Amino acid sequence: MLLDKEIVRLVGMNEKALMLLSEPDRVIHFRLRRHLPAEYGVGFPVQVYVVYHSAAKGPPCKGGIRMASDVTLEETIQLAETMTYKSALMNLPFGGGKAAIVADSQLPPEAKEVLVRGFAHEIRYELVSGNYVPAPDLGTSPREMAVIFGETHIRESVTGKPVGIGGLPGREEATGYGVAVVAERAARKFLGREISDVSVGVQGFGNVGSWACTFLAERGAKILAVTDRGGGTMRREGIDMEELKKYEKEHGSVDGYSGKHLSNQELLGLDVDLLIPAAIGGVITKENAGNIKAKLIIEGANAPVTREADEILAQKGVTLVPDILANAGGVVASYDEWRKGKSGTRTKREETYATIKETLLDVFEEVLKYSSKEKISLRKASLALAATRLLDTMEGRGWV
C-alpha cells in the first residue's frame, strides 16, 4: 500500500476509507487460449491479469496494458494502485486500473495482434461498458490499441489509438513531454538553474525515455548518457538525439552508439545534475541508492525507486519528483482523448501539449506548497493530496 501512517494522519483517512484503498476492488485473471507458431516462443496458455484498484473516482478504471514475460499479478496490482493516486492527483474522473499480458514485450506486431485481440474478446463487456479503458504501456503501442478499437467499435473504449481512428494528436509523446515539462520546472526550483545549464542521464529509451530526451534536448539540456535494456552510451559533450534515434532504429538498441558501452547500473551512478529513470520499476534500491550522484531525480517510470532507497536519497539531500506527478502527462492526455471520443470533437497537437503543461505545472505548485507547509517530501505531499481527493470523493458518494 502506498499510503504510510504519516500520510494517513495528515489526510485524516478514516478506517472505512483506508480499508477500501488497502486492496483492489476487483481482480480478473484468465488465460488466453490462442495458439501462436512455436518460433514466437510464447507459452500456452498465456496468463492475463486485469486489476481495478479503486473505482472511487470512476468508472472507468484507467490504466495501460503491460506485455512482459515477467509481469506478475502483484506488480499489476501495484501499478493499478499507482494509477488510482495519479488520476486523483490530476483531478481526473478515473479510477485506477491496469492490465498485464504475460508474454515477451519484443514479440512481432502480428503475434501481439493475436494476443490483444484475444484479450479484447475475453473482457469485451468490461470494455464496451466503460468499466475499463486501456492505453499503451510497456510492450504495447497505438497499433495494439487499434486492435481493441477494431473489436469494440467504440472510440472512447480505448486511448492511445492512432490519430486516424480518433486518437489524440500528441498522445503518443504525452508522457515524455510531461516528464520534460516537470524536469524543466524542477531544475529551476531545486537546482537554481535553467534546464539548458543542466546535465542529464536517462535510463530507458522506449516511448517515455525517448520523447523525454527529445523534448529536453529541444530545451537545450545536455543529455550525457542514455541506456535501454541492452545497455547504453555516454558522451561528455552531449548526445545528438536525432543521431541517437537513427542509431537505435538501425541497431535495435542505443548500446554502442559512438562506439561506447554503458551499463544501466553505471548510468545510475553517473555524475549528472538530473537523473531520469524511465524504464522499469525498482531500479534504484537500498543497494545502489548510496551511489547516486545526481541532485535531482524525476521518476519517468512507475515506481523506479524503492521505499528503502527513498529514505537513503533523502538523507543524501537528493530531491525526487514522484511518478504520480512526473509521468502523469499520459493520463492527462488520455482524459482528453476519452472525453473527445465521447463528443466527437477534434484537437491540435499544440492544444494537447498546452493542456498537459498547464495541468502538471498547476499540480506541481500545489504539491510544492503542501510539501513546504507540512515539511514532507514531494512524494508524500503528492500522495497526501491524491488521498485527500479520494477521501472527499468517497465521502461524497456515501461510501465512508
pLDDT 10s digits, 370-391: 999 999 999 999 999 999 999 9
Amino acid at 190: F
Q: Is 98 in contact with 66 (CB distance < 8 Å)? A: yes
Q: Is 73 in contact with 27 (CB distance < 8 Å)? A: yes
Between CA 72 and CA 70 the distance in angstroms is 6
Within 8 A by CB and 6+ apart from 22, the residues are 1
Among candidate residues 62, 98, 161, 357, the one labeled active-site is: 98
pLDDT 10s digits, 35-62: 776 666 676 789 999 999 999 999 999 9
- Does the structure show a pLDDT above 70 at 142? yes
- Does the structure show a pLDDT above 70 at 208? yes
Query: Residue with C-alpha cell 461498458?
Result: 129
What ranges make up the beta strands (E) of 283-361?
296-298, 319-321
pLDDT of residue 346: 84
pLDDT of residue 344: 85
Query: Residue with C-alpha cell 514479440?
Result: 107
Q: Is 391 in contact with 13 (CB distance < 8 Å)? A: yes
Instruction: Please give the average per-residue pLDDT across 128-144, as a whole number.
Output: 97
User: What mean pLDDT value characterizes the chain?
Assistant: 96
Instruction: Please give the average per-residue pLDDT across 351-378, as a whole number.
Output: 98
From the list 45, 12, 315, 332, the residue with the least C-alpha distance to 181 is 332
From the list 169, 203, 206, 214, the residue with the least C-alpha distance to 340 is 169
| DSSP label of 296 | E
Instruction: Give the phi and the psi of residue 216 in degrees, each rounded to 5.
Output: -70, -40
pLDDT of residue 345: 85
H or E element at residue 349: helix 349-374
pLDDT of residue 34: 72
Question: Is this structure's pTM higher than 0.85?
Answer: yes
Which of 30-39, 127-136, 242-251, 281-290 is predicted least confidently?
Answer: 30-39
Q: What cell was used for 190?
A: 531545486
- Does the structure show a pLDDT above 90 at 257? yes
On the question of a cis peptide bond just before residue 142, with omega within 30 degrees of 0, the verdict is no
Domains of the chain: 27-164 (3.40.50.10860), 168-400 (3.40.50.720)
Helices (H), 69-141: 73-89, 109-122, 124-128
CA terminus-to-terminus distance, the chain: 19
Residue burial 114-128, b: 16+ Cβ < 10 Å; e: rest? bbbbbbbebbeebbe
Between CA 262 and CA 274 the distance in angstroms is 17
β-partners of residue 305 are 284
pLDDT of residue 39: 67
What ranges make up the beta strands (E) of the chain?
26-32, 46-54, 61-62, 65-67, 95-101, 132-133, 199-203, 222-228, 231-234, 274-277, 296-298, 319-321
pLDDT of residue 260: 87
Q: What cell was used for 75?
A: 506488480
Assess whether 260 carries a catalytic annotation: no
Within 8 A by CB and 6+ apart from 37, the residues are none
From the list 321, 89, 322, 307, the residue with the least C-alpha distance to 191 is 321
- Does the structure show a pLDDT above 70 at 366? yes
